[in-house]
Amino acid sequence: MRQSRLRRIKREARLTLDHKRHGVIIHVELSSPRKYSMSPRNLLLDRLPREVYERVKSDLKRVTLKHGQILHRAGEEIRFLHFPLTCMVSITLMTADGRTIETGAIGNRGVAGLNAFMGGQETTQTEYICQVSGENLTIAAEPLKEEFNRNTEMRTVLLKYTQVHMAEISQNVACISLHTLEQRFARWLLEVRERTQSDRFTLTQEFMAQMLGVRRAGVTVAALALKEIGAIEYARGDLKICDVNAVQKLACECYQALKDEYDRLLGSRASGSLG
């Protein structure tokens, strides 16, 4: 097979090519097949049974979320679920004195609004807020709750995701108690990168300090340490990861531990991705 033909096929096809030569079938893998044609994708949505996705896809609405946009307030009924594509949603908790800390983060490997399936309609303490602007798929809770109640395979997928979410909460407790701010900051950047599939995002120091539950001065010092070794560039809220290996070396083990747990339960992302 000539090179020109291969190049043309690579442009036009995304699955596979079978070609016979001298009685031998040559199988050429061009790219990993997608379960659905949506791009960019939400990995958890991809894991839903095909028949479930076909029934609910007309209810999915693609919207753009803006930084700081509140999707759910503490105590309110969960009426919608959110499957991030390129945005990132923080689960935050506000203390009695008005301080806020991030207790979890959701990107294109998860869903915001999981409590809708847990036998109750309210989250009494947490708030969902868009941390990084981007695209998102929103759906009313009722259609998915109906599928959850009648489809065993879908229920298994979401229960596995619940297990991942519980592991994240446990890991966060250990991380806050045992690891330095520099380690936690590096881990947090890796999580933002992995969940948004981007090396560049807009984040103010004030917002990062809130999410990490520290003073703004602490974020300044941590960011400067990464900037001095060339790991990141940061100016006026625009942050770019320049050397992901350097960030990974500084980060604590929590990022990789949680990523491994997700991959174990729900499968890894396709090859060639940032994650």
pLDDT at 203: 85
pLDDT at 123: 63
pLDDT at 269: 61
Tokens of 63: 């919207």
195 membership: H or E segment, kind and range: helix 181-196
pLDDT at 217: 93
How big, in percent rounded to 5, are the helix, strand and coil portions of the chain? Answer: 45, 25, 30
User: Which residues pair with residue 185 across a beta bridge?
Assistant: none
Tokens of 2: 């000539």
Domains defined along the chain, listed by start = 1-30 (no CATH), 37-177 (2.60.120.10), 180-251 (1.10.10.10)
User: Which residues pair with residue 28 across a beta bridge?
Assistant: 17
| 224 vs 228: CA distance, rounded Å | 6
pLDDT at 82: 97
- Please give the order of strands across the beta sheet that includes 232-235: 200-202, 238-241, 232-235
Q: Is 39 helix (H, G, I), strand (E, B) or coil?
A: coil
* Residue 57 exposed, middle or buried by CB count within 10 Å (0-12, 13-18, 19+): middle
pLDDT in tens, 240-266: 999 999 999 999 999 999 999 999 999
To which residue do tokens 């509140």 refer?
70
With CA atoms as reference, report the closest residue to 71 among 117, 39, 116: 116
pLDDT at 133: 93
Residues of the chain scoring pLDDT < 50 = 1-38, 270-275
With CA atoms as reference, report the closest residue to 250 among 213, 275, 220, 225: 225
pLDDT at 38: 42
